[in-house]
Amino acid sequence: MPRTAARRQGDWAEQRVLRLLRARGWRLLSHQWGCRWGELDLVLEKSGRLLLVEVKGRRRQGPDGWGVAGLRRQKRRRLEQAWSCWLAAHPQWAESPVELVYALVPLAPTTAPVRWIRPQG
């Protein structure tokens, strides 16, 4: 099945984030890992710590603030459920500290930096 333009843009945004994090010493464990609850864009590890990254790519600033509107409670709940599935499939990481971060990626032609958001609560 051919990849849609939106999927190609999402893949590009994820690769941009992955390059940035690898340059900071993070090691990729999973990319686009899915279960019945949804998909985890990136799961990375560094010094025994885990980083779960939800990537949102946007071509331009819109009413959703580069994707901020897509980070509501329902999305977070689905991420938590998918995270539980990931841990069940990777029990060796069950005791590791984990941090969730959202990466809002402006798509080309802009050269704006990636915006990192750590959810509250």
Q: How confident is the model at residue 121 (pLDDT cuts 50, 70, 90)?
A: low
Instruction: Supply the CATH number for residue 19's domain.
Output: 3.40.1350.10
pLDDT tens for 101-113 read 999 888 877 778 8
Phi first, then psi, for residue 56 (nearest 5°) are -125, 115
pLDDT of 44: 98
Residue 36's domain spans which residues? Answer: 5-117
Q: Assign 19 to helix, strand or coil.
A: helix
**Torsion region of 104: left, alpha or beta (phi above 0 gives left; psi -120 to 50 gives alpha):** beta
DSSP 46-70: ETTEEEEEEEEEESS--TTGGGGGG
pTM, two decimals, is 0.86
- How many domains would you assign to the chain? 1
Alpha-carbon distance of 99 to 43, in angstroms, equals 10
